[in-house]
Amino acid sequence: MGYGNAMQPPDESRFSLAEEVYRIRVRLAALVSRDSSIHVVGHSYGGAVALRLAQELASQVQSLTLFEPVAFHLLPPAHGAVSIIRTVAECISREVGDARKATRGSIETLARKLLPATQMFIDFWSGQGAFDLLDATRQLSLSLMLPKVALDFQALLGDPAKLPTLHAFQVPTCLIGGRLSPRCSHQLLHVLEAVLPQVELHWVPAGHLAPINNSIRVNPIIESFIKRSE
């Protein structure tokens, strides 16, 4: 929700991962019958959503592929990776709140006000200097997404699900990570690899945005896994 042409969450204060998944289930039900087999693929926040969706529709899901899902809510609260993500989430939430108060509804002004926070977010996931490599139009476009990013963190970190829910998840799962991604992403992938009953883990020499900017390395892994799952 809140990306592309998708509607914004109607009530930001109550937005949750369950609401995100419910919307996808409704759209999916309009496309395929309940006895149809599906393959689920997700990346980053979409990966966390995909994992939750696959758990709810396990009888239909033939395979699940996740590129660095940010499902940090599954980890114990004291885990170091959770602490790092909470710090990022709190910073973004604070910046979005302050920017909204200061700009009073002006979209363009809001985008410009959020540029520093957007730079922090992009550089966290893609490495120092990544934001500066983008042209000004792209930077502003990404800044406009930051309020929804704040809600994504809210939905994830507020979700009650924990690792034990995955022990009974019998869907073949392919995990993919980027060697150049943040360490917290690597930590979560290794935890998921140890917990999921049917899983394989692959690495590509790229970063967190590899499905977008290095698809030539990522897509063959996904395609091969889906074909083998069929």
- Tens of pLDDT along 174-191? 999 999 999 999 999 999
Tens digit of pLDDT for each residue in 125-139? 999 999 999 999 999
For residue 96, being part of any structural domain is answered with yes
| Residues paired with residue 174 on neighbouring β-strands, in sequence order | 65, 200
- Report the alpha-carbon distance of residue 164 to residue 175 in Å, rounded: 18
Q: What is the mean pLDDT of residues 72-92?
A: 96
Q: Indicate if 147 and 43 belong to the same structural domain.
A: no
Range of the domain at 171: 12-77+163-229
Predicted confidence (pLDDT) at residue 104 exceeds the cutoff of 90: no
Q: Is residue 71 part of a domain?
A: yes
Given a cut of 90, whether residue 105 has pLDDT beyond it is no
> Does 6 map to a domain?
no
22-54 pLDDT tens trace:
999 999 999 999 889 999 999 999 999 999 999
- Three-state DSSP class for residue 16: coil
Based on the fold, state whether residues 186 and 153 are members of the same structural domain.
Answer: no
State the first-to-last Cα distance of the chain, in angstroms, to the nearest integer.
30
Would the pTM of this model clear 0.85, i.e. be above it? Answer: yes
Q: Of 131, 157, 183, at which residue does a domain stop?
A: 157
Tell me the CATH number at 220: 3.40.50.1820
| Number of domains within the chain | 2
C-alpha distance from residue 103 to each of 72, 92, 108, 121, 136 (Å): 32, 16, 9, 21, 20
- Rounded Cα gap, residues 129 and 123, in angstroms: 6
Domain for residue 3, yes or no?
Answer: no
pLDDT at 107: 84
| 61 and 93 both lie in a single domain | no
**pLDDT tens, position by position, 203-223:** 999 999 999 999 999 999 999
Long-range contacts from 7-10, C-beta under 8 angstroms, 24+ separation: 8/148, 9/151
